[in-house]
Amino acid sequence: MGVTVKVPMPPPDWAAILHGEGRDRIFSAMVGADLDDSAYLPWDKVRYRTPPAGLTAQEFWAALKLRRQSGLRTVSLLSKDGKAFSYTLTDHLLRRCEEIAARASGTISMPELAVSQGDRDRYVVSSLIEEAITSSQLEGASTSRRVAKEMLVSGRRPVTRSERMILNNYRAMERIREVTEERLTPELVLELHRIVTDGTLDDPEDAGRLQQESDERVRIFGDDDQILHVPPPAAELADRLQALCRFANGEDGDTAYLPAPLRSIVLHFMVGYDHYFADGNGRTARILFYWSMLRQGYWVTEYLTVSRILKNAPARYPGAYLLTEDDDGDLTYFLTFHVDVCTRALDDLQRHLQRKSAELRDMRALLDRRSNDFNPRQLAALESALRDPQSEFTVHGHATTHRISGETARVDLLGLEEAGLFVRSRRSKSYVWRPAGDAGRVVEIAADE
C-alpha cells in the first residue's frame, strides 16, 4: 500500500480472563456506571487507558467485551474460521447512519450549480474522474491528477499502466451507474473486476476470474514482508461470493435490521477480506460500495470521492481491517471508520458546492448582459476559461463532460467562437478551441457585446 501499517496488538483472551481471580471484579465493573465504552476502542488503545479502580488493563478489556456481547448483532457472512461476523450498533454508528441517510438520499444543496441537468452532469463527471484517480492511486497508480484528467476528458488512449488503471476505474464507475437497478450476481462482480483490471495485470487471464485452487493464493503483506492477512482458501471463493451477493441484495434471510449504509460498508469489507482475485480487490471493493449505496437510494453518492478520504488516511484504512479480524470478527471498527469517511466526503462535497456556487454567481454577474445568449454548458465552458486562460476545449471533451452528442458539443463551441469569446485552431485531424485572451479579456468581450 506504500505506507507503514501499524499492526495492532492482538487482544488478550477475554473469556480466559473471566475465569481468573478477577472474575467478580469484572462482573461488578461491567454493570457499573464507571465503565465508559462510548468510543468503542480496540484493545490496542484500551491498554493505554486508565482502568476503573481495582481492575487491571486486561480485566478492563474483559469487562468491556462482556458488556459488548449483550449488544452484538451478527450478519450472514462468515470468517474463514466459519464464525459469523458481528457488530454493535453504537450511538455513533446510529448518528452517522442517520446523517448519511439525510444528506445522501435527500435534496442536495446546489443553489447555482443545480440550475440545470447539464450542471449536475458536469459535476458527476468531475466526481467520477476524481474517484477514478484516487482509487487507482490507493493501489499504486502514479499518474498526476492533471495528466489523468487530461486523458479522460480528451479521450486519448492511456500510455502507462497507471493511466490504464485510472481509465478502467472511470469506466467501472460509469458502468455501475447503468446497473444500479440490477441485483448483484457473481457474473456482475466478475464483469466489474474485468473492467477495473483490463490491461493492468501480469497475467491477463486473471481479469474477471476468481482465484483457483491451482493458483498461488494471494496474501496481504506489510512493508516489512510481515503477513497481515491470509484470505480464505480459493476452493471456498465461489460459494462465498454467492453468499456475498445474497447479502448485498438483502436476500440472505437475515431478519435483523441493518442500516443501509452499513450493508454497503460490509460489502466493501468482505471483498477485501475474501480477496477473490489475484489483484484489483481494493478497486473492486470500492466500486461495489458505490453500487450498493446507489442501489439503496443514496443518489448523492455519485457526487462523492470517498477514495480521496481513504488516500489521506492510508494507514487507518488497512488498520480498520486488521482490528476487525483480530477482535473476533467485530465489524464495528471498520464500520465506524467508514461512516466517518462517508461523512467527511459529504462535508467535502458541501464545501466544494458552496465554493463553486460563489464562483458561478460571480461569473454570471459579470456575464449578466449576455446571460440569455448562452446555454448552461456554454456558461460552464466560460467559467473554465475564466479560471484557466490556458484551458482547451474539444468536441469530444465538451461532449464527455456534459454527456451530450458530438454535434451538440460542436454547436456550443462554434457559438462561443462566433461571439468572439473562443478562438479555434486545428490540431491533427480535429479542432481545438481556446479562450480569446486572458480571463479579463473574456469577460470584457462578453460584457461589451
Residue pLDDT, tens place only, 180-224: 999 999 999 999 999 999 999 999 999 999 999 999 999 888 777
Residue with cell 483457483: 212
- Given a contact cutoff of 8 angstroms between Cβ atoms, the answer to whether 245 and 185 are in contact is yes
Of the candidates 112, 172, 106, the one whose C-alpha atom is nearest the C-alpha of residue 136 is 172
Q: What is the mean pLDDT of residues 224-229?
A: 84
Q: Which of 368, 396, 355, 426 is nearest to 382 (CA)?
A: 368
Tell me how far apart the alpha carbons of residues 207 and 61 are, in angstroms, rounded to a whole number.
44
- Kindly tell me if the per-residue pLDDT of 101 is higher than 80: yes
pLDDT value for 448: 55
pLDDT at 116 over 60: no
pLDDT at 356: 67
Instruction: Indicate if the pLDDT at residue 333 is higher than 50.
Output: yes
Note the pLDDT of residue 187. Answer: 98
CB-side neighbour CA atoms (13 Å) of 378: 22
* Average pLDDT estimate for 125-129: 79
pLDDT tens, residue by residue, 373-418: 889 899 889 878 876 767 899 999 999 999 999 999 999 999 999 9
Q: Of 61-75, 79-93, 129-143, 266-280, where does mean pLDDT reach its minimum?
A: 129-143
Which of 211, 306, 291, 283 shows the shortest CA–CA distance to 245? 291
Q: Could you give the percent of the chain with pLDDT greater than 70?
A: 89
Which has the higher per-residue pLDDT, 258 or 420?
Answer: 258
Residue with cell 460459494: 239
pLDDT score at 439:
46
Quick one: pLDDT at residue 119? Answer: 52
Q: Which residues contact 99 (CB under 8 A, 6 or more apart)?
A: 343, 346
Which string of DSSP letters, residue by residue, matches 46-95? HTTSPPSTT--HHHHHHHHHHHHHTTEEEEEEE-TTSPEEEEE--HHHHH
pLDDT of residue 115: 40
- What letter does residue 425 receive in the DSSP assignment? E
The residues near 18 (Cβ < 8 Å, ≥ 6 apart) are 26, 62, 66
* 20-55 per-residue burial string, b: 16 or more CB within 10 A, e: under 16: eebeebbeebbeeeebebeebbbbbebbeeebbeeb
More confident residue, 351 or 120: 351
Q: Which residues of 309-348 are buried (b: 16+ CB within 10 A; e: fewer)?
A: bbeebbebbbbbbbbbbbbbbbbbbbbbbbbbbbbbbbeb
Please report the pLDDT score of residue 315 as a whole number.
Answer: 84
Residue 82 pLDDT exceeds 70: yes
Q: For Cα atoms 393, 397, 399, give the angle at the middle one, nearest 5 degrees.
A: 115
Element (H, E) at 122: helix 117-138
190 to each of 11, 193, 197, how far by Cα in Å? 36, 5, 11
Cell of 90: 453504537
pLDDT single digits (tens) 412-443: 999 999 988 899 999 888 899 998 865 445 55
Query: Which domains, from first to last, does the chain contain?
Result: 14-70 (no CATH), 75-351 (1.10.3290.10), 375-448 (1.10.10.10)
Q: Calculate what percentage of the chain has a pLDDT beyond 90.
A: 61
The helix (H) or strand (E) run that includes residue 424 is strand 422-427
pLDDT of 15 higher than 60: yes
What is the distance between the alpha carbons of residues 392 and 397, in angstroms, rounded to a whole number? 9
Q: Across residues 78-103, what is the average pLDDT?
A: 96
Supply the mean pLDDT for the chain.
88
Please tell me the predicted confidence (pLDDT) of residue 178: 95
